[in-house]
Amino acid sequence: MTVLNINKSGMFFLIFLFSIILIEETKAGAWTQKKNSGYYSLDFRFLSSSELHGMNGSKIRIPEFKDFTTGFFGAYGITNDVTVFLGASVYKSISLDTISSAAGFDTNVSGIGNIDVGVKYLLSKFGSTVLSAKLILGLPTGNSDKDGALWTGTSDFNQEIGVEVGHSFYPAPFYLTGGVSFNNRTKGFSDEFSYGIEGGYKFISNLTLVVRFHGQLSLKNGDDDVIGGYGIYLNNQEYFAYNAQLVYKITNNIGVKSSYENGAAAKNIISSPVFSFGVFVVN
């Protein structure tokens, strides 16, 4: 594959392009898997912070909050046009650096998080451009005992629908993909609108840089007395986040990846960068 030569002005153009197109962060991109092929990854994510974005976006000092999550994602092609996928927080460990009696709830919680199951359908293909639709069901399998406590998952069964578009610039080793989605929340949580875009550039045959911008807006149509889980599962969350990821393929079927994510314009969410490392297998 020919390596694309991007000069400085071209790089600034790409950054500008990423910044102005508002499409949702995709799960496995707009492309469906080929029939009987799959992608499977195991990720380890960590965040730590002593600040929380409040309802108006201002930062509030809190005891140090830590979240370590082991996540699994898998996608499998039923046909060339239909892909099923699953994303699960296999294990979450959350802590707040204060005594439980002072906080009024257990400040060390661990266990399984929520599980998302979904399906993606290829609607159309125009040359190197694809258009697909997705449906994701969010299962409340995590611990969500009461409002204000540390949760390992949300307490509601939610349904997310969205559309995604992707374009490959082959033979140049570069792609763009993204989409928009609407998430119908239950149990008094506000519905959400999400958007994002992702671009990948392969520097050499086995090393790819992925840059992602994504965000979430709350429709603020939930119940006023529903607070949600402290820190990362609060109700009416909003944010704009940016992510850089390096993906290295060790062989044709096995690879590793690492990423850094941070954000801005956040409300009702912990203020912290997120670091992650993962391994993946394709077949």
The encoded tokens of residue 242 equal 């940016």
Beta pairing partners, 199: 176, 211
Lowest mean pLDDT across 19-33, 138-152, 179-193:
19-33
- Domains detected in the chain: 8-282 (2.40.160.40)
Tokens of 106: 């257990």
Report pLDDT for 88: 97
Whether 19 shows a pLDDT value over 60: the answer reads no
Q: Which pLDDT score is estimated for 148?
A: 66
- Res. 28: pLDDT tops 60: no
User: Cα separation of 173 and 28, whole Å?
Assistant: 17
What's residue 185's pLDDT? 98
pLDDT tens per residue, range 227-278 = 999 889 999 999 999 999 999 999 999 999 999 999 999 999 999 999 999 9
My answer on whether omega of the bond before 171 falls inside 30° of 0, hence cis, is: yes
Residue 85 and residue 77 in contact, taking contact as beta carbons nearer than 8 Å: no
Query: Which range in 14-28, 93-107, 117-131 is most confidently predicted, on average pLDDT?
Result: 117-131
Q: What is the pLDDT of residue 14?
A: 39
> What is the C-alpha to C-alpha distance for residues 180 and 195, in angstroms, rounded to an integer?
5
Whole-prediction pTM: 0.87
Contact 110, 100 (CB under 8 A): no
CA nearest neighbour of 235 among 176, 192, 201: 192
